[in-house]
Amino acid sequence: KQEVTQIPAALSVPEGENLVLNCSFTDSAIYNLQWFRQDPGKGLTSLLLIQSSQREQTSGRLNASLDKSSGRSTLYIAASQPGDSATYLCAVRDRRSNDYKLSFGAGTTVTVRA
């Protein structure tokens, strides 16, 4: 059974500092990995999706890397802003399970202080 872990559970940084969020997964036979953002009391917004054949994906200030062999992904957010405060979730789609299932981590809650 795929287990997804996100460390740290919470992170507080001053505005302008770069953010580094970690995600690890136990079964490297994944189809893809996705990073989501969740604002308090709201649903999830997809940020980046990395296919298993890719090493990284970039969107604006966000960069996500994937090291499938070691079971790790890292989300980098450059020059953080107070608006980046949210919970960031990592999810993997396994090759061993059916097409529909995403396995989620518990998330990292980020606070960017002005």
Partner 1 sequence: ETGVTQTPRHLVMGMTNKKSLKCEQHLGHNAMYWYKQSAKKPLELMFVYSLEERVENNSVPSRFSPECPNSSHLFLHLHTLQPEDSALYLCASSQSGGASDTQYFGPGTRLTVL
Number of residues that bind partner 1 (CB under 8 A): 27
Question: Shortest distance, CB of residue 105 to partner 1, whole angstroms?
Answer: 6
CA angle at 27 for the pair 26 and 30, rounded to the nearest 5°: 130
- 58 contact partners, CB below 8 Å, separation of at least 6: 48, 64
Nearest distance, CB of residue 100 and partner 1, angstroms: 4
Give the Å distances, CA to CA, from 95 to 35, 61, 63, 92: 18, 30, 24, 10
Q: What mask of x and - would describe binding to partner 1 in positions 25 to 64, judged by CB under 8 A?
A: ------xx-x-x----xxxxxx--x-x-------------
- 74 binding partner 1? (CB under 8 A): no
CA distance 80 to 85: 9
96 makes contact with partner 1 (CB under 8 A): no
Nearest distance in Å: CB 36, partner 1 = 8
Tokens of 112: 């960017």
Does position 14 bind partner 1 by CB under 8 A?
no
